[in-house]
Chains A and B, each alone.
Chain A
Amino acid sequence: MRRVAIVGAGMTDFRSMLPLTSPEMIRLAVKRCLDDVGGLSIRYVDGVLATSAPDAFDGYHDKGAIAVEAAGAIGKPITRVFVGGGSGVAAGVAGWYHVASGAFDTLLVVAWEKMSHPYPHAQKLFQTIFDPVLEKPLGPNLIWIFALEMMRYMEAHGLKKELIAEVAVKNKRNALDHPHAQLGARITVDDVLNSEVLVWPVNRLDISPTSDGAVALLLASEEVAKKLTDNPVWIEGVATCLDSQFWTMRDLAYPYYVYLAAQMAYRMAKITSPLKEVDVWEPYDPFTYKELHHMDGLLGRPGLAPKLLAEGQMEKDGDCPTTPSGGLLGVGNPIAAAGLMKVAELYFQLSGRAGKRQVPDAEVGVAQAWGDLMQVGTVVVCRR
Chain B
Amino acid sequence: MSARVVRYGPEQLEGLPASFAGFLRRATEEVGSGREQSWSKAVSEFNERVPEMALPGLVVQPWLFDFRYRRATGEAVGRFLEGLKEGRIIGTRCEGCGRVFIPPRSFCELCFRRVRTYVEHSGEGEVATYSVAYIGTNPRERLARPEVVAVIWFEGTKVVRPNSHHVFHAAGLMHKLGEVEPSEVRIGMKVKPVWRPKEQRRGEITDILYFAPVR
Smallest Cβ-Cβ distance to B171: which chain A residue: A249
Kindly list chain A residues whose C-beta atoms are within 8 Å of the C-beta of B105: 246
User: What CA separation (Å) do A19 and B52 show in the bound complex?
Assistant: 8
User: What CA separation (Å) do A197 and B134 show in the bound complex?
Assistant: 7
Kindly list chain A residues whose C-beta atoms are within 8 Å of the C-beta of B42: 119
**B205 CB–A CB distance under 8 Å:** yes
**B8 CB–A CB distance under 8 Å:** no
Q: Given B139, B151, B206, which contacts A121 in the complex, CB threshold below 8 Å?
A: B139
Smallest Cβ-Cβ distance to A151: which chain B residue: B129
**B167 CB–A CB distance under 8 Å:** yes
User: What CA separation (Å) do A132 and B69 show in the bound complex?
Assistant: 10
Instruction: State the main secondary structure of chain B at its contact with A.
Output: mixed
Kindly list chain B residues whose C-beta atoms are within 8 Å of the C-beta of A150: 131
Residues A138 and B175 in contact in the complex (CB < 8 Å), given A248-B151, A253-B166: yes
Q: Given A17, A132, A199, which contacts B52 in the complex, CB threshold below 8 Å?
A: A17
**B137 CB–A CB distance under 8 Å:** yes
User: What CA separation (Å) do A148 and B168 show in the bound complex?
Assistant: 17
Question: Is there an interface contact between B131 and A147, defined as CB atoms closer than 8 Å?
Answer: yes
User: What CA separation (Å) do A119 and B3 show in the bound complex?
Assistant: 8
User: What CA separation (Å) do A198 and B129 show in the bound complex?
Assistant: 17
Kindly list chain B residues whose C-beta atoms are within 8 Å of the C-beta of A253: 166
Question: Is there an interface contact between A124 and B31, defined as CB atoms closer than 8 Å?
Answer: yes
Kindly list chain A residues whose C-beta atoms are within 8 Å of the C-beta of B175: 138
User: What CA separation (Å) do A324 and B176 show in the bound complex?
Assistant: 39
Instruction: Identify which of residues 135-149 in chain B touch chain A, using a CB-to-CB cut-off of 8 Å.
Output: 135-140, 146, 149
Kindly list chain A residues whose C-beta atoms are within 8 Å of the C-beta of B81: 133
User: What CA separation (Å) do A134 and B173 show in the bound complex?
Assistant: 9
Proximity bits, A132-153, B CB within 8 Å = 1, else 0: 1111011111011101111110
Q: Given A59, A124, A127, A252, which contacts B129 in the complex, CB threshold below 8 Å?
A: A252
Question: Is there an interface contact between A200 and B134, defined as CB atoms closer than 8 Å?
Answer: yes
Question: Is there an interface contact between A152 and B133, defined as CB atoms closer than 8 Å?
Answer: no
**B71 CB–A CB distance under 8 Å:** yes
Smallest Cβ-Cβ distance to B146: which chain A residue: A200
Proximity bits, A80-109, B CB within 8 Å = 1, else 0: 000000000000000000000000000000
Q: List 6 A-B contacts (CB under 8 A).
A: A19-B53, A151-B130, A152-B128, A197-B132, A198-B134, A199-B132
